[in-house]
Each structure stands twice: as structure tokens, then as C-alpha cells.
Amino acid sequence: ALREFFRHPEDVARAHLSGGLGGKRVVIQGFGNVGSHLARFLQEEDDVRVIAIIEKDGAVVSEKGIVIAHLAEHIREHGTIKGFPDAHYVEDGHAMLELDCDILIPAAVEAQITMENADRIKAPLIAEAANGPVTYDADQYLRERGTVILPDIFMNAGGVTVSYFEWIKNL
């Protein structure tokens, strides 16, 4: 979905961005099945700079970019993002949704961007990889302010479709 978005310069310009995905500064909330794979693919295949990963136990932040393979290895070994040597640890991970970046990708749980924090969201492009991460009121507010939001129904439709087929096959 992000690759397709960046194939349309008029849409990219609406988000006050330019060019392709390469070099874009990205913040991802959630490092589970969706977030970890998304981070790896965006970094390795699209040359984005993942500047923050937000997890339930805090966040790791590095303006120069986080090497996703190194972070994944650290989590496998230690079970946490805490202590990751190549980035700054921030205990209040939720506040990192407000970090200055090009693309914010909430890929964890619903209702993470609400009217309580919407005015502090700096990303001009939000790609909803979780189900309903932006509340209705916050969505309206952000869109009126000029933020482009790629909705969850578009961003993660493939996962929902696969879940449906697993469900009907009783898997």
C-alpha cells in the first residue's frame, strides 16, 4: 500500500512529501508480525530510515536509523527492546507517536491516536497497519489539518482476508 501511494506524485504532494519511499523517516508502533516484517521490508527493500520502534515496554529511537535485523536479534536474545545498544531507550513509548517523522505506522492496537494526542502528531502521512489505531474524532481532526491517512481497511486488508479464510476453514 505504501509503495503504491508513493507511485502517485500528486498524493505524495498532498502529504507535503516528495520523491519515493527511499530515505523517508519512519516511526512504527508494534514489532509483532505486522510491524517487524513491515520494518524489515521497508528498510531492506525500500531504503527507508526507521527512526523509532515503539513496543509495550517502551521505545527505541535513533535519528540515524535502527538496523531492524539487529533489533530483532536483540529481542530474540533478551525478550525486550530495553538495552538495545544501537538506539536510545525511551520508557514512555506512547509519546514517541508524536516524534517528528515522515511516516507514522501504528501497527499494534486500536485507539492509539485520539483527540488527546492528535494535535501533537507531526507525521504528514499515517499508514494504519493496526485495526482502528486512529479514533474517528482524531481522524477527522488530522485530515482537516492536512494529514494524509491510509486507512486500516486498505493497509491491512490482506491480513483480514487471510484471517477470514482461516476462520471458515476452522484453522
What would the pLDDT profile of 53-76 be if each residue is shown by its tens digit?
A: 999 999 999 999 999 999 999 999
Amino acid (1-letter code) at residue 166: E
What would the pLDDT profile of 77-128 be if each residue is shown by its tens digit?
A: 999 999 999 999 999 999 999 999 999 999 999 999 999 999 999 999 999 9
What are the φ/ψ torsions at residue 35 (nearest 5 degrees)?
-60, -40
List of residues 6+ apart from 49 with CB closer than 8 A: 23, 24, 25, 26, 43, 64, 65
Is residue 158 pLDDT above 80, yes or no?
A: no
Q: What percent of the chain has pLDDT over 90?
A: 88
Whole-number Å distance between alpha carbons of 23 and 63: 12
Q: What is the DSSP letter of 163?
A: H
List of residues 6+ apart from 111 with CB closer than 8 A: 132, 133, 135
Whole-number Å distance between alpha carbons of 143 and 166: 35
Confidence of residue 171 (pLDDT cuts 50, 70, 90): low
Confidence of residue 161 (pLDDT cuts 50, 70, 90): confident
